[in-house]
Structure 1
Amino acid sequence: MKKLWQPSKLFKEHSHLQTYCNWLKDHKNLTFDSYEQLWQWSISNTEAFWESLWYYFKITSHTPYKKVLSGYNMPNCKWFEGATLNYSEHIFKQIQPNKTAIFFKNELGKQTKITWAQLKEKVAAMASYLKTLGVKKNDCVVAFLPNVPEATIAFLATNALGAVWSSTSPDFGTESVVNRFSQIKPKVLIATDGYTYNSKPFDKTNTVKAIIAALPTLKKVIIQPYLNENALNYFDENCENINTILNKKGEELTFTPVDFNHPMWVLYSSGTTGLPKAIVHSHGGILLEHYKYMAFHNNVHENERFFWFTTTGWMMWNFLQSALLMGASIVLYDGSPTYPNFDALWTFTDNLQINHFGTSAPYLVANMKKELTPKKTHKLNTLKSISSTGAPLPTEAFHYVYNNIKHDVWLCSMAGGTDVCTAFVGGTPFYAVHAGEIQCRALGVSLFALDDLGKPIEDNLGEMVIDKPMPSMPIYFWNDKDNSRYKASYFEDYPGKWRHGDFIKINSETNGLIIYGRSDATLNRHGIRIGTSEIYSAVNKINAIEDALIINLELEGGKHYMPLFVKLKQGFKLNDSVKKDICNQLKNDYSPRHVPDEIIEVADIPYTISGKKMEAPIKKILLKMPVEKSINIDAMRNPECVDFYIDFAKNI
């Protein structure tokens, strides 16, 4: 693997990770010669590691904990029992009244800055209003909002009261929202009247009305007029304007201490084949994990500006809020990342002087396909890191970032999930960046690649498994009293060990990792396991191809059928020359086994609303499983494309 970036001595010395190592030496008499030694200590001494974070980050607890960890038998673990704390309280420990806490811009040019003092006032106003509605510990407040400051304010207010937060973005359909929120019986809904994308307005008034009608537990609805300042006129008298609430002076902001293991928010699985899993995380678990990741793996410092392109329906929105824990400013953007021009986010980065830029791997690949060269057209002089997640980042995209965006940027490819609202693997300021590799396993994450016999392996493809608990693992799934659905999701294949559902390879030489895609969509060609990311990496090099989807079907009699579905760029056709280019690229980059049995042109590739390729659901459709059990159309970003795959399956 080619080395693309090397941290300077100064970069290492000024990193949070080095400060933590110094602290361990001074307070625990522990010294480490490398990141790998530190990681090994963190997973071999689980309780000592997480307890060290408690003291290093000066966690404010209103009552002492009795024990760091009760029980190692996942998922029946309890962390820091007896401790009571509040996530929002820790955010406002960072308050610098006149400094900016939130920068916001939308695609139409509206810009807002909110100071820490203003943020505290608005959170206090919202918390006071929620109190008048009787919102208290364990009640649920849900939001159907764009990525706007009001969403952050409402979350922090809900959290300050010890209530439970949950959100979806307004591009979700009615059924998709109801399938999520109805599970948790919310008391309050905060909703927008609409949003814009590519400058086109999408009125969601009727959607909000349908959501309200489907949620009988609601006591109050708060409306954010986003498209129309008179939006409240279209709702009944039980609705309140969010601006009226936030412009009133509330009581002094106070924080309700809750148990370390108290529910903080509910996130949801994609729900591609059924009702979404309602995943519940704890106040304390997320607090410790986000401190750890923001400091040691993203190296976010006070007064820096942290941006992630996300919606409120993706876990990265929740993750983004935690930059406030570091005393950094969060940067919010609402709208299309390519409007009015494809380089809109790079212009945004220059204008807002962003230090840490977060996005999805498909966005960087799209920039690469478009042959953008931001390093020539933009300054990007404040940009220190680019983080990427959501899908494996192919090797050529690593090269693209360094050749065409910025040569001295720290590229932090990371992978984790909604399940833990963090990354299992990601960046470290102590290591070089090698093309195609994620730098390290995160501290406290006892992660290994296992072979078919369940043995740890390196330098070969294996199943990603975590064999020790982490505080940010779900405390439970909502309405899953016996934990049966929770256990079935992660612990069926390796009892007592978390199987995440990804295939990975750990490089014994660099300690880096490569994610090869979802193991439930793995291509098993005559006994050889192939990661979907390998196929996409090769196909991405073909100029005619805009996107692709690979599926392998295990048929009767030991037969296999591996079709490759391709979406072509405008102006190209799938002729024999393009097919030959694809096959040759796959052979040259990998092996003849990587060559598909058939290449099929499609109008579009199916994605979830949060931007995940729907390999497993399409595989079920092609295996002629009932469509209603194979895919949840309402969880899709582009449901209109499914009919093609349904028809295609009839001919297999």
Structure 2
Amino acid sequence: MQPQWVPTEADIAQARITDFATFVEARTGVAAPDYRTLWQWSVDDLAGFWRAVWDYFELGEVAGEVISSMEMPGAQWFPGTRLNYVDQVIRQFRTDRPAILAIAEDAPIREVSWAELIDDTAALARTLRALGVRPGDRVAGYLPNIPEAVVAFLATASIGAVWSACGQDYSPKAALDRLGQLEPTVLITADGYRFGGKAHDKRADIAALQAGFAGLSGTIVVSQLGLEVADATLWRDAIATDEAAPAVITTEPVDFDHPLWIVFSSGTTGLPKGIVHGHGGVLLEHLKAVALQSDIGADDTFFWYTSPSWMMWNFQIAGLLVGATIVCYDGSPTYPAPDALWRIAAETKTTVLGTSPGYVLACIKAGAVPRAEHDLSALRTVGITGASLPTSSAVWLGANTGEHVQVNSISGGTDVVSAFIGGAPTVPAWPGELSTRFLGAALDAFDAAGQPVRDEVGELVITKPMPSMPVRFWNDPDGKRYHDAYFDMYAGIWRHGDWITITERDTVVVHGRSDSTLNRHGIRMGSADIYQSVERLPEIAEALVIGAEQPDGGYWMPLFIVLAPGAELTDDLKTRINTTIRTEVSPRHVPDEILVAPGIPHTRTGKKLEVPIKKLFQGADPARVVERSAVDNPDLLDWYATIRPATAP
């Protein structure tokens, strides 16, 4: 197999990461002629690497040491150093390009200048202070992906308060399960949103949140649909300024690990975990990931299709840290046509576009040819996350987006609000593989005995701390939930819960979640390999495979498929599915049964519910196996609860 993208000499020479390597050599004497050498130094000398990142981006004074303990959990980064995330955004002020391009389904592109962004942030921060918000207080967002959400986050962070948000597709219960834990001081919301050509009035849901938040001192509402919301201050009034006393942006210096935001786990089992990240850790990690790994800078337009419910929303804001223009799209990725994201990318002259494997597959099945139908001449990189990108989809992207467009598949998590693995502008991209381990991420693959393995499947582990690892979990005073989430398998080693293979060329293949591993006849397998082969068939819209151990010692591995419109599960289709899996994956992956399902349930961020469905098949109580409000279509759970392995061999 050959790489599908190889950096040119010009790519390498012009890359920010090459300039960083030169900076490192000049300061430390450490020469890094290639990426792998630079990565090895970055994990061998964590303190030296992260201090170099700090100094390279000129983040200010450092009070003392970089890291006082290498223990996990418990590492202490930059003790005594004070800063504010928002300062780095303010430093990027410019007049020649907008800060944000706002896209909606029913409106022309709206430009938000850097002056408007900073002025509105200053004005809103003043309003928040007037409502009693102080450092450490929480501000909750219940918002679409609009510029006002970015302003609300920046205003909150600027005064040392803590931001947390979810999208308005979440029901009031799902939102309260998350944001209600935080007892927010202020709620910032919108009267509704549009998706797929339909308006969604959220006034009743807002009222439910107002009633559910104890100690709420105020609600600020953005008018998206022109509706009146009771007991709320209009956004335009919250950011209004008096010419005689204009708002001036001021930031509160806080400790390196002072909470910046709280993001939530999927919450499929019990209340979602509130994951607290600090100002300094996020700032350093995002500068590294955006500027060095993704080569995003002041000349770029950065568009990732996301919502405030997902960590990629937080990640996209990092474009502002390097002076890039970010795109906020409030709408469906397939409205009014399947190629909507490519159209938006063309209209905004996006240089780095992010989406999901599912969207790419939908475009393939729709027969879209983005490069022929849209002007993508500005596009340099397509980022992919959320699930494994099949080889065939990677090849399709390479052929249908541009002559020299890098396909940058990344993998990480809400846990570190970043990626562990992905691309770099100086490293080739291989179809079906993630290009390399990110700088500063001491990533390895371990077997069950805790030994590193190569060219075979192992647990994804991080053997040394990262600055953006959680400061703590919310409402976890003794740290037990945090410890149990990552450190219960290997003492002092972060176990992420993914199956990966690190290849001899240092690329990484992600096979799926290790807690939903298929284990037939003692051979552990990843579900992602099956999805990649089956979901390419034109008759299959989506698939779900489960491996469930049975009380009698048996093992049942059904494959559930959602058929494309007009398709039927004939004997011929069954044969082709099994043959495809046997040929493209392995004979051991061939399922025991193929069953037609009315749909596949997902978390709100698009992850298939493999583990809860497996528990259902093992006889667990449906009421306890999954929190319904965390599921995109909870009614599907009732159908799966009726399925039992009566025909299992």
TM interval, short-chain normalised: over 0.9
CA drift at 1:487 = 0.3
CA drift at 1:406 = 2.3
Partner of 1:607: 602
Report if the CA contact (8 A) 2:190-2:221 is conserved: yes
Cα deviation 1:144-175 (Å, max 9, x = unaligned):
00000000011111111011000000000111
Cα deviation 1:472-520 (Å, max 9, x = unaligned):
0000001100000000000000110000000000111x21101000001
Report if the CA contact (8 A) 1:185-1:215 is conserved: yes
CA drift at 1:362 = 1.4
Q: Which deviates the most, 533-542 or 569-578?
A: 533-542
Q: 1:562 aligns with which of 557, 561, 571?
A: 557
CA drift at 1:628 = 2.3
2:241 is the counterpart of 1:243? no
Partner of 2:87: 89
Partner of 1:57: 57
Partner of 1:423: 419
Secondary structure in structure 1 of the residue aligned to 2:181: coil
Partner of 1:186: 184
The count of corresponding residues between Structure 1 and Structure 2 is 644
Classify 1:650/1:214 alpha carbon distance in 2 versus 1 (closer, same or farther; 3 Å).
farther
Report if the CA contact (8 A) 2:12-2:426 is conserved: yes
Q: 1:540 and 1:634 mapped to 2: Cα distance?
A: 27
Classify 1:649/1:218 alpha carbon distance in 2 versus 1 (closer, same or farther; 3 Å).
farther
Partner of 1:149: 147
Q: 1:385 and 1:302 mapped to 2: Cα distance?
A: 15
Q: 1:504 aligns with which of 487, 500, 504?
A: 500
Partner of 2:20: 20
Q: 1:487 and 1:587 mapped to 2: Cα distance?
A: 39
Q: 1:337 aligns with which of 333, 338, 344?
A: 333
Alignment of 1:150-549 (within 5 A): 150-228=148-226, 230-232=227-229, 235-236=230-231, 239-249=232-242, 250-508=246-504, 510-549=505-544
Cα deviation 1:52-82 (Å, max 9, x = unaligned):
1111111134xx4222112111111110000
Q: 1:407 and 1:525 mapped to 2: Cα distance?
A: 42
Report if the CA contact (8 A) 1:100-1:115 is conserved: yes
Cα deviation 1:599-648 (Å, max 9, x = unaligned):
00011111111111111111111111111221111011111211110111
Q: 1:342 and 1:50 mapped to 2: Cα distance?
A: 42
Secondary structure in structure 2 of the residue aligned to 1:316: helix
Partner of 2:124: 126
- The amino acid that maps onto 1:431 is V
Q: 1:141 and 1:285 mapped to 2: Cα distance?
A: 20
Secondary structure in structure 1 of the residue aligned to 2:606: coil
TM, length-normalised to structure 1: 0.97
CA drift at 1:39 = 0.6
Partner of 1:592: 587
Structure 2 residue runs of 5 or longer lacking an equivalent are none
Classify 1:557/1:650 alpha carbon distance in 2 versus 1 (closer, same or farther; 3 Å).
closer
Partner of 1:74: 72
CA drift at 1:405 = 2.4
Structure 1 residue runs of 4+, over 3 Å off? Answer: 649-652
Q: 2:9 and 2:96 mapped to 1: Cα distance?
A: 33
Q: 1:110 and 1:622 mapped to 2: Cα distance?
A: 49
Q: 2:592 and 2:130 mapped to 1: Cα distance?
A: 63
Percent identity, aligned pairs only, is 40
Q: 1:248 and 1:456 mapped to 2: Cα distance?
A: 59
Q: 1:133 and 1:203 mapped to 2: Cα distance?
A: 26
Q: Which deviates the most, 372-381 or 472-481?
A: 372-381
Secondary structure in structure 2 of the residue aligned to 1:367: helix
CA drift at 1:540 = 2.0
Partner of 2:33: 33
Secondary structure in structure 1 of the residue aligned to 2:139: strand
Report if the CA contact (8 A) 2:102-2:111 is conserved: yes
Secondary structure in structure 1 of the residue aligned to 2:50: helix
TM, length-normalised to structure 2: 0.98
Report if the CA contact (8 A) 1:401-1:407 is conserved: no
Q: 1:602 and 1:147 mapped to 2: Cα distance?
A: 32
Structure 1 residue runs of 5 or longer lacking an equivalent are none
CA drift at 1:2 = 2.9
Q: 2:350 and 2:557 mapped to 1: Cα distance?
A: 43
Q: 1:550 aligns with which of 545, 551, 558?
A: 545
- The amino acid that maps onto 1:475 is V
The CA RMSD over aligned residues, in Å, is: 1.2
- The amino acid that maps onto 2:228 is A
Q: 2:314 and 2:327 mapped to 1: Cα distance?
A: 13
Q: 1:511 and 1:180 mapped to 2: Cα distance?
A: 38
Classify 1:628/1:65 alpha carbon distance in 2 versus 1 (closer, same or farther; 3 Å).
farther
Cα deviation 1:250-289 (Å, max 9, x = unaligned):
4211110000010000000000111000000000000000
Report if the CA contact (8 A) 1:192-1:223 is conserved: yes
Q: 1:167 and 1:463 mapped to 2: Cα distance?
A: 31
CA drift at 1:93 = 0.5
Alignment of 1:634-645 (within 5 A): 634-645=629-640
- The amino acid that maps onto 1:49 is F
Q: 2:362 and 2:142 mapped to 1: Cα distance?
A: 28
CA drift at 1:650 = 7.8
Partner of 1:624: 619
Q: Which deviates the most, 363-372 or 121-130?
A: 363-372
Cα deviation 1:444-474 (Å, max 9, x = unaligned):
1001011122110110010000010000000
Report if the CA contact (8 A) 2:556-2:645 is conserved: no
- The amino acid that maps onto 2:462 is I
Q: 1:628 and 1:286 mapped to 2: Cα distance?
A: 37
Report if the CA contact (8 A) 2:220-2:238 is conserved: no
Report if the CA contact (8 A) 2:361-2:536 is conserved: no
- The amino acid that maps onto 1:642 is L
- The amino acid that maps onto 1:633 is R
Secondary structure in structure 2 of the residue aligned to 1:464: strand
CA drift at 1:246 = 2.0
2:41 is the counterpart of 1:48? no
Q: 2:361 and 2:462 mapped to 1: Cα distance?
A: 29
CA drift at 1:98 = 4.7
Report if the CA contact (8 A) 1:273-1:628 is conserved: no
Report if the CA contact (8 A) 1:461-1:504 is conserved: yes
CA drift at 1:377 = 1.2
- The amino acid that maps onto 1:101 is A
Secondary structure in structure 2 of the residue aligned to 1:416: strand
Q: Which deviates the most, 519-528 or 248-257?
A: 248-257
- The amino acid that maps onto 1:17 is I
- The amino acid that maps onto 2:537 is I
Q: 1:441 and 1:53 mapped to 2: Cα distance?
A: 17
CA drift at 1:361 = 1.9
Secondary structure in structure 1 of the residue aligned to 2:569: coil
